[in-house]
Amino acid sequence: MKRGVGGAAFSAPPSISTKAELDRLKQNRPIPSVAPQLTPDGPETYEVNRQVADAHETRLNDLQDRLQTLRESADTDFTLSANEGRARGDFERSRE
């Protein structure tokens, strides 16, 4: 477990990318509010909040990239699967 500025603990993200995690991260994105909050101000607070937000957005972008790559790979494999075995069949028919 990593420690950030001010001793805040960060847990490591799971190694498997799933659509459920992507949806959960999108749903739990912090919404900026205009109301005053009773949190201490200062450089440490700002830095910790920035690190947490950056880690969240980085994980979100990584998940989107991985899932998009897998989706494109699956589409390509499906398209090319129609030609699988065609060369062997053509070769065998040509020898007859």
- Residue 93 corresponds to which amino acid? R
13-35 average pLDDT score: 81
How many whole angstroms separate alpha carbon 47 and alpha carbon 9?
A: 14
More confident residue, 66 or 46: 66
Give the global pTM.
0.49
How many whole angstroms separate alpha carbon 85 and alpha carbon 82?
A: 8
Return the pLDDT at 72. Answer: 92
Determine contact, residues 44/6, Cβ cutoff 8 Å: yes
43-54 average pLDDT score: 88
Mean pLDDT of the chain: 81
| Domain extents in the chain | 69-95
Helix (H, G, I), strand (E, B) or coil at 35: coil
How many C-beta neighbours within 10 Å does residue 8 have? 14
How many whole angstroms separate alpha carbon 18 and alpha carbon 28?
A: 16
Tell me the chain's radius of gyration from C-alpha atoms: 24
Kindly state the tokens that stand for 39: 């949190």
Return the pLDDT at 87. Answer: 77
More confident residue, 30 or 61: 61
More confident residue, 3 or 14: 14
More confident residue, 1 or 10: 10
- Residue 34 corresponds to which amino acid? V
